[in-house]
Amino acid sequence: MTKDEKRTSRSPFNRFFRLVGKLLNWFEVGSLLFCVTALAALLIINFIARELFTSIYFAEEISEFLVIFTTFVGLSYGVRRGRHIRMGAFLEIMSPKVEKVFIIFISLISAGVMFYMANAAYEYLIHSMQRAHETPALRLPVWVFYIITPIGFALAGIQFLRTIIKNLVEPDTWISPEQQSEYDEEELCDGE
């Protein structure tokens, strides 16, 4: 590692960037592990209970909540890890500089869409809170089930912004904050 690379990696901006990435990773991975494990356990236990006695009356509502939570936290995780749908065929035929500009542009549009959707989901959440509907089995407010929706969209928007920053700061092309472009990786493999 050269002196410039060491100085850059120790800068407050890069430390903050890494800290945000670690905190988001901790939240996303922890949430996904918990939700998938809880969903599997709940469905298995409910199946056994239904066969032996009677089904658990609230299992469907909790399952629905866990699926919604997993979906919207998984959205942010997918963007951070570069597992979202992208125009790979077009990116492969572009030069690395054009590819980088294209990824920055796509990430900017995607961030805008995610923040717009976060705002729309927040407005829907507020509307649900005002209506004060409750779930049939647990008698919980319905809005509790949708609280993760604006958070998931906002986290995905943050991940797209991190992708833009990563591409502006780093000389290489990045399709996400943690995933370098496949084109660059193939170029590196061919050169070795």
Q: Per-residue pLDDT tens for 86-118?
A: 666 677 777 878 888 988 999 999 999 999 999
**192 pLDDT higher than 50:** no
* Per-residue pLDDT reduced to its tens digit, 26-82: 888 898 999 999 999 999 998 988 888 887 888 888 898 999 999 999 998 888 888
**3 pLDDT higher than 60:** no
The set of residues, in sequence order, having a beta carbon less than 8 Å from that of 90 and lying 6+ positions away, is 102
**164 pLDDT higher than 80:** yes
* Confidence bin at 189 (pLDDT 50/70/90): very low
Number of domains in the chain: 1
**141 pLDDT higher than 60:** yes
Q: Give the pLDDT confidence score for residue 174 in this predicted structure.
A: 85
Q: Which domain holds residue 16?
A: 3-191
* Confidence bin at 176 (pLDDT 50/70/90): confident
